[in-house]
Amino acid sequence: MAVVTLLGFSSGMPLALTSSTLQTWMRREDVDLATIGIFSLVGLPYALKFFWAPLMDRFVPPFFGRRRGWMLLTQFGLVLATAGMGLVHPTRAPLLLAVLALTVAFLSASQDIVIDAYNIEILDPIERGAGSSVYVLGYRVAMLASGGGSLILAQYLSWGAVYGVMACVMALGVLTTLWAPEPAVRQPPPTQLKAVVVESFREFLGRSGAWEVLAFLVLYRLGANLAIALNSAFFVDLGFSNLDIGTVMKGFGTFATIAGTFLGGALMVRLGLRRSLLWFGILQTVASVAYFTLAQLGHSYGAMVASIALEYGFSGPAIAAFQAFMMGLCDRRFTATQFALITSFMALSRYVASAPSGFLAQHLGWPGYFALCVAAGLPAVAIIWGRYSRWVFPATT
């Protein structure tokens, strides 16, 4: 569990540095909202990682084993690429910054492929609920460090120095990988790349209800992902300082994340997976309602604190339950490939849907935009509640 928690931290560090933190930096440099929205496309590797995931199932690096070897390679690359982002200015060399951000996203998505496979192989089925909770805890704390923490540092340091500090923190992943045990091989890994690609996709898509599951993966976090896609720019437009945003995210956000994730892990045992996803899905939509209310009130520090606390507090258990659901979908012969396919569909709602978010916010205004976010969170709840749930959730769950 300690290793899974630290790997969650390593996995969560790069995300904010290519999304909310980068978004705040660009907005402070007077980059327009439409450009910021387009920059969210640098996260497409998270949605496309199933294309190269079979390589990480088929080939084994010559050091540290099948999973730990790939982790080390991606983590070293992340440290270098993140430091490189800090050397580029968003208005003087926006294309180069986009290339570096895309590189960080590619390496981060690759790290996620192997860490997800590692977690599935190292955890027994009975441990997945607790394992998902501590993984999400580490992930969210890392997002607070690279999101809220970086904003606090930006009050006192240049943005280039901030990204240099974040690159140093990211080296914690390397130390974790050196300490972690390699998972035991319970089923022989595939020996041919074609077998990995063809058989893994055929096995998953041949299941009853496979397409309904894929639709659910896209929809479950759609409303929440739209709500957080522009939350940093939203706070900037309301007149909050970097220190305000960073302090609230790091203070109230950290407390809400820890409390929500541990409470969600405990409730999952009592509620079961389906009911957990239902109730946590409803609660994560409440965070969008909080942002809508803040947009109506304007510069209200109390409402800002409440909106961040609700977003982190309710999203933590929802993501933990969603993670446990996805882990149970994988065949252990093709862990990396199938989980990458599953999480790629999940990531579609984060990046493809977020790309037009800047245009939507400009045309709808902040209240209309967050009303749209609330509406986008309802279809997944309807799937769990309605007649399609028998395909998404077999009787065993």
Tens of pLDDT, residues 314-334: 887 888 788 888 877 777 777
Q: Report how many domains make up the chain.
A: 1
* SS3 assignment, position 133: helix
Does the residue 397 lie in any domain? no
Of 207 and 99, the structure prediction assigns the larger pLDDT to 99
396 band by pLDDT with thresholds 50, 70 and 90: very low
**Residue 114 predicted with pLDDT over 80:** yes
120 band by pLDDT with thresholds 50, 70 and 90: confident
Average pLDDT over residues 82-104: 88
From 15, 72, 5, 6, select the one nearest 343 (Cα to Cα).
Answer: 15
70 band by pLDDT with thresholds 50, 70 and 90: very high
**What domain range is 95 assigned to?**
2-392
Does the residue 66 lie in any domain? yes
**Quick one: pLDDT at residue 110?**
93
Average pLDDT over residues 96-124: 89
Average pLDDT over residues 6-13: 92
- Mean pLDDT rounded to a whole number for the chain: 81
**Quick one: pLDDT at residue 199?**
73
Distances (CA, A) of 76 to 11, 69, 81, 104, 118: 13, 11, 9, 11, 18
Contacts of 142 (CB under 8 A, 6+ apart): 8, 9, 10, 11, 12, 13
**Quick one: pLDDT at residue 10?**
93
**Quick one: pLDDT at residue 397?**
42
164 band by pLDDT with thresholds 50, 70 and 90: very high
Q: Is 166 left (phi over 0), alpha (psi -120 to 50) or beta?
A: alpha
Amino acid at 231: N
352 band by pLDDT with thresholds 50, 70 and 90: low
pTM recorded for the entire structure: 0.69
pLDDT per residue as tens digits for the range 271-282? 777 888 888 888
Instruction: Choose the most confident range, by mean pLDDT, from 11-20, 101-110, 279-288.
Output: 101-110
Does the residue 340 lie in any domain? yes
**Residue 350 predicted with pLDDT over 80:** no
The secondary structure of 57-122, three-state, reads: HHCCCCCCCCCHHHHHHHHHHHHHHHHHHCCCCCCCCHHHHHHHHHHHHHHHHHHHHHHHHHHHHH
Of 179 and 385, the structure prediction assigns the larger pLDDT to 179
Q: What is the CATH number of the domain that holds 336?
A: 1.20.1250.20
3-state percent breakdown (helix, strand, coil) of the chain, nearest 5: 80, 0, 20
**Residue 394 predicted with pLDDT over 60:** no
**Residue 73 predicted with pLDDT over 50:** yes
CA distance between the termini of the chain: 23
Q: In this structure, what token pair is assigned to residue 306? A: 């409440």
pLDDT per residue as tens digits for the range 175-218? 999 998 888 766 666 666 666 677 777 777 777 777 778 888 88
Does the residue 186 lie in any domain? yes
CB 281 within 8 A of CB 220: yes
Does the residue 386 lie in any domain? yes
From 212, 161, 175, 143, select the one nearest 68 (Cα to Cα).
Answer: 175
User: Which DSSP letter does residue 19 get?
Assistant: T
262 band by pLDDT with thresholds 50, 70 and 90: confident
